[in-house]
Amino acid sequence: MKAAVLREVRTPLQIEHVQISKPGPHEVLIRTAAAGVCHSDLHFIEGSYPHPLPAVLGHESAGIVEQVGSEVRTVKPGDHVITCLSAFCGHCEHCVTGHMSRCVSSDTRRDKTDAPRLSQEHGPMMQFLNLSSYAEQMLIHEHACVAIRKDMPLDRAALIGCGVLTGVCSVFNTAKVRPGDTVAVIGCGGVGLAAINGAAIAGASRIIAVDMSASKDNLAKHFGATDFVCAADGDAVKTVLDMTRGGVDQSFEAVGLKVTTEQAFGMLKRGGTANIIGMIPVGQTIEIPGAAFLGEKKLQGSLMGSNHFPVDMPKLVDMYMSGKLKLDEMISRRIKLEEINEAFEEMKTGQIARSVIVFDA
């Protein structure tokens, strides 16, 4: 099959032919229909997060099941599925207490003594985040995908696989935003726009979008923001505090930087919570004024929106089909696999929401 391979950090991905194995007892072979070009992949390309190489990148995807292993009971050939990087084993402490997104069990991966899922003539090819979706096919654990209704367009379904799930479910599951809450979202890329949309669905009374690019104003408001602050024009924290007369109930950092994390905490009212959903580069530390905790302000992380994806994803599909969840407007352009490096360069400009690789294009 054809796949996009990262061989060295800070170098372009290479389109290569990669061998893919047959499904083991609990594995599923999927024909990839679409894969979103996500900023998280860029973190690994640039070396902000380490990963064994060479590897087939990609982790935000949807497709059609081609084959299943002998013990698979959750999906069958012909099913349309969305994948999820937070594969879960179902029996560890995190899984049995309802925190499936935290599962790190090796049971969802092949043993080191087994043949690799992906390989080339000279050895194994590393699978990325349990998926490797920048490829024509994926071989994954059955608990890394969920079947969805077949009238859902797969190019839009792919976005639910990471960015939308992370953004919306951080609102629903991690923060538990309630009707009437005030919210600030820093960063209006795919994840931030999803958080804005989620806050609107949850009934937040005021949703303040913050971004360095003034051009994101109309897009953010289309997704549900009531206000927009261009951080390039001045002190965004002071602006939000003035607008809200003291701060917001919940803030969401969707950029992954030290400064924006500190801003998210600074925008809180007494008793507020800052939810960090961006990927802060390894090695960076956050500085928070100690006295601020006397106001019962909280800083918390969110991994993939604290999701229960086998339940959450079909619900998000239904929300899209009923017109509540906005996905069409999130796709800036549809591309071929061979255009992936250009998509990452466009991403760096901050002017687009999402490029989506469509494999039948």
Which pLDDT tens digit goes with each residue over 260-312? 999 999 999 999 999 999 999 888 999 999 998 999 999 999 999 999 999 99
User: What is the arithmetic mean of pLDDT over 152-165?
Assistant: 97
Confidence of residue 64 (pLDDT cuts 50, 70, 90): very high
Q: Which spans in the chain are helix H? A: 39-45, 93-96, 154-159, 165-169, 190-202, 217-222, 236-244, 258-266, 309-321, 340-349
Confidence of residue 134 (pLDDT cuts 50, 70, 90): very high
CB atoms within 10 A of CB 290: 7
Confidence of residue 171 (pLDDT cuts 50, 70, 90): very high
Phi-psi sector, 28: left (phi>0), alpha (psi -120 to 50), beta: beta
Transcribe 118-181 into DSSP letters: EEETTEE-EESTTT--SBSEEEEEGGGEEEE-TTS-HHHHHHIIIIIHHHHHIIIIII---TT-
Please name which of 160, 131, 130, 146 lies closest in space to residue 73, comparing C-alpha atoms: 146
Residues recognised as catalytic: 38, 40, 43, 59, 162
Whether the per-residue pLDDT at 20 is higher than 60: the answer is yes
Strands of 14-17's sheet in order across: 14-17, 2-6, 55-56, 126-127
Q: What is the pLDDT of residue 122?
A: 85
Please report the domains of the chain, with CATH numbers, ordered by start residue.
Answer: 2-148+327-358 (3.90.180.10), 167-303 (3.40.50.720)
Confidence of residue 162 (pLDDT cuts 50, 70, 90): very high
Whether the per-residue pLDDT at 4 is higher than 90: the answer is yes
Q: What is the pLDDT of residue 353?
A: 75
At 70-88, the pLDDT tens digits run: 999 999 999 999 999 999 9
Burial class (CB in 10 A: 0-12, 13-18, 19+), 49: middle
Cα 254 from Cα 231, distance rounded (Å): 14
Q: What is the pLDDT of residue 163?
A: 94
Contact 307, 172 (CB under 8 A): no
In the block, tokens 């054809």 appear at 2
Which of 52-56, 87-91, 294-298, 348-352 bottoms out in mean pLDDT, i.e. has the lowest? Answer: 348-352
Whether the per-residue pLDDT at 361 is higher than 70: the answer is no
Q: What is the pLDDT of residue 243?
A: 97
What CA–CA distances, in Å, run from 214 to 105, 239, 266, 317, 332? 43, 15, 21, 30, 17
First to last CA, the chain: 16
At 202-218, the pLDDT tens digits run: 999 999 999 999 999 99
User: What is the arithmetic mean of pLDDT over 6-25?
Assistant: 97
Cα 316 from Cα 327, distance rounded (Å): 10
